[in-house]
Amino acid sequence: MDTSSLRRGADALTESADVIAPALLRNLVARDPGWRVLSRASVDEDLATLAAALSARATHGAYPPAVVRRLGDLARKHRALGPGPAEHRVFMSCLVAAMRETLSDGPAIESARARFAEAAAIMAAAPDDGARPDTWPARVLEVQRRSRDVAVIRLHTPDPVPYRPGQHVAVNPLMMPGTWRRLWPSVPSNREGLLEFHVRVHPSDPMTRPLVATTRQGDEWAISDPRGTLGDFDPTDGTDLLMVAGGTGVAPLRALIYSHAELPEPPRTHLVFGARSPGELHDLRTLTDLAQTLPHLTVTTAVEKRDDAPYTQATPFSEHPRAPLPWLGTAADVAARMVDPGHRRILIGGGPEMIRATREVLLAAGASESQIRHDPLG
């Protein structure tokens, strides 16, 4: 086994994910439309799992138990998408084709291809894990329209979905059969099986408009595949948190705030919540109430414009009599004034463009790469 070529193949999966992932998605969907469920963020995580497997194979000559567990999780995720995605070798062959389309290192690709066959065999042997289902049925309890383009959707599952605070899940409203999208719960997993999602209409995502406009109480959804590592850190290590949220990107950060509030000594947390205008601060009421209840939490708001556009259709949820006036600027601009290179852990919640822009501003303000956490960009 050429370990040098294999390591280059592992590195390529993460370093060249921006070109490999789109090619992989095209190849998968061409083979089976069931793969349309995968978002770029989800594919980036899949590539990271396989990169870890290749790296471990090159280093140890085998797959350690932790890597086998990750491959098993990947297998169960794909099985939840349908009979086509359950064919793990198809995924691997499409990935090899994507690497050949986008990379020039032939030996690295061939080394990876041989090990992908091993990974597919491990995935095929992975149990379905009867301790927890791959998919959880859910029913919509309430839909709150927070503005013209934003809805907060609350659901109930008979069995709690075991996600970690800050993770995202795949959702399939059964009114749109076979159509999946990733959403971020805004509350931690709980024994009552209650879920809450914040959904905004995105012109580039045709699924979001019917979610916001037509979801009704009693609708049935399927929930699957908790993923993500945004909240995978030790909140008791004494490090202050600076959270930066854009619009509905506040959801995973709010789940972490609720989770940390249960700790004997929660981390001191400053949340900067930004939107285009005051009426789009769709969760201001809840966040202000939280800040007045939790002594370790401070909430600052930022808006790019002082006045709402006529079509915003603001609701009382974006108002609070004791909320300070928002700063004028982006959430990144405001958060940049709070960067402390020595002490803060910085979490960013928002869409890919917002995350990229916020990273640039915070790094320019003195933050380090090691301080900043966010979901994979897709």
Same fold, 3-125 and 240-373: no
**According to the model, what pLDDT value does residue 193 have?**
95
At residue 313, the 3 state secondary structure works out as: coil
Mean pLDDT over 37-49 rounds to: 82
Look at the domain 3-125 and name its fold: Globin-like (1.10.490)
For the cut 80, the answer to whether the pLDDT of residue 377 exceeds it is: no
Lowest-confidence segment of 144-148, 237-241, 248-252, 307-311 by average pLDDT: 307-311
Mean pLDDT over 49-74 rounds to: 87
**According to the model, what pLDDT value does residue 120 have?**
87
Angle between helices 284-293 and 250-260 (to 10 degrees): 20
**According to the model, what pLDDT value does residue 156 have?**
98
Please, are residues 343 and 240 in contact by the beta-carbon 8 Å criterion? yes
Q: What is the pLDDT of residues 97-108, one digit of tens each?
A: 999 999 999 999
Strand pairing category for 135-145 and 150-156? antiparallel
φ, ψ dihedrals at 321, nearest 5° = -60, -25
For the cut 50, the answer to whether the pLDDT of residue 130 exceeds it is: no
- Measured at the alpha carbon of residue 250, what is the angle toward residues 247 and 252, in degrees to the nearest 5? 140
For the cut 70, the answer to whether the pLDDT of residue 83 exceeds it is: no
Confidence of residue 62 (pLDDT cuts 50, 70, 90): confident
Please, are residues 335 and 364 in contact by the beta-carbon 8 Å criterion? no
Lowest-confidence segment of 123-127, 187-191, 253-257 by average pLDDT: 123-127
- CATH, domain range 135-227: 2.40.30.10
% of the chain residues with pLDDT over 70: 95
**According to the model, what pLDDT value does residue 72 have?**
86
**According to the model, what pLDDT value does residue 39 have?**
74
Lowest-confidence segment of 64-68, 144-148, 298-302 by average pLDDT: 64-68
**According to the model, what pLDDT value does residue 269 have?**
97
Q: What is the pLDDT of residues 335-364, one digit of tens each?
A: 999 998 767 899 999 988 999 999 999 999
Mean pLDDT over 2-14 rounds to: 90
For the cut 70, the answer to whether the pLDDT of residue 86 exceeds it is: no
Please, are residues 138 and 163 in contact by the beta-carbon 8 Å criterion? no
Q: What is the pLDDT of residues 262-280, one digit of tens each?
A: 999 999 999 999 999 999 9
Cα–Cα distances in Å, from 296 out to 46, 90, 249, 270, 361?
36, 49, 21, 8, 25
What is the C-alpha to C-alpha distance for residues 80 and 184, in angstroms, rounded to an integer? 18
Q: Strand pairing partners for 145?
A: 151
Confidence of residue 84 (pLDDT cuts 50, 70, 90): low
Domain boundaries, the chain: 3-125, 135-227, 240-373
At residue 224, the 3 state secondary structure works out as: strand
For the cut 80, the answer to whether the pLDDT of residue 235 exceeds it is: yes
Q: What's the chain's average pLDDT?
A: 89
φ, ψ dihedrals at 20, nearest 5° = -70, -45
For the cut 50, the answer to whether the pLDDT of residue 153 exceeds it is: yes
What is the C-alpha to C-alpha distance for residues 258 and 262, in angstroms, rounded to an integer? 7
For the cut 90, the answer to whether the pLDDT of residue 134 exceeds it is: no
**According to the model, what pLDDT value does residue 273 have?**
98
CATH of 240-373, one of 3.40.50.80, 3.40.366.10, 3.20.20.20, 1.10.40.50: 3.40.50.80
Q: What is the dihedral of CA 196, 229, 164, 203, to 10 degrees?
A: 10
**According to the model, what pLDDT value does residue 288 have?**
96
Confidence of residue 44 (pLDDT cuts 50, 70, 90): confident
For the cut 80, the answer to whether the pLDDT of residue 212 exceeds it is: yes
Confidence of residue 85 (pLDDT cuts 50, 70, 90): low
Please, are residues 283 and 273 in contact by the beta-carbon 8 Å criterion? yes
